[in-house]
Each structure stands twice: as structure tokens, then as C-alpha cells.
Structure 1
Amino acid sequence: MLPERDAAEEVAELLSDRFDLPGEPRVLRDALAGEDDAEDAQWLVVVEDAGDLLDPAALDEMAGRLGGWLEEQ
């Protein structure tokens, strides 16, 4: 989860460069509940990791450098 689209796109690019992913990370807009302003949104970088190959701590650190955090599903 990241506060700006540019940061989310940067993380998606870093993930693609650093890890051998089965598919491209997807950048999605997540509007804040109850907010009407298009500026009030958070950005998700969705990564499929069925084989549990990605280190959650490394992902959280990567997002944290750009003002974001890791949310696992």
C-alpha cells in the first residue's frame, strides 16, 4: 500500500527487476472509504506469490522506503 501512484509504479518496477515473478505486478487505485476527492486514494501493488518465494520483510522495507507498507492477503 503506497500513498502515491508514482511510488506504486516504482515499487512495481523494482519488484519486476529484483524477482523472477510469474506475472507483472499490478498497480491499482484504492479510494479511501467515504472520500469523494480523487486525490484521497492509496495505491496497491498486487503481486502473486503462490510459491511463497518473496520475503515479506523485504517487501515491507521496499514499500517503507517510499512511504508505504505491506498488507498480506
Structure 2
Amino acid sequence: MTQTNPSAAITVVKCPTCQSSVEWSDKSPYRPFCSKRCQLIDLGEWADEEKAIPGAPDLSDADGWSEDMGY
């Protein structure tokens, strides 16, 4: 028999889409999102390139760039 530890803290996060509280457990199958709807809204924003992870610029489109670097 498994006993639960009453002193164990329950982790709660904010849904990235609607900011509602979401318990980080098996009770929340779409975590960190509160629902499938919020999950799909976020996916759509990434697909439409409304969201991006900052990084170095892509130099492959720069003028004068070549795959053959002369090595």
C-alpha cells in the first residue's frame, strides 16, 4: 500500500496561454497547459512564427555565403 506524504508540496504552474493555475501531476494531462484548447493555441502561435527562440542569425541566406568554403 502506498501512503502519500502530507508534507510533500504540490507544484502548481500557470498555463502559458491563459495564465490559469495548473497542478503539475497526472491529474493534468495537458500540463503545463490547462486544456487541449490552450495547448493548440500555443502550437498555432509557434506554427505561425509568432513565437521563436532567440538565436544567432541564419547565415545561409547571407550574400556571398557558399557551401563550398574552399577547403
Name the TM tier (shorter chain). Answer: under 0.3
The structure with the greater share of residues assigned to strand is 1
The structure with the greater share of residues assigned to helix is 1
Larger radius of gyration: 2
TM-score normalised per structure 1: 0.24
TM-score (normalizing by structure 2): 0.25
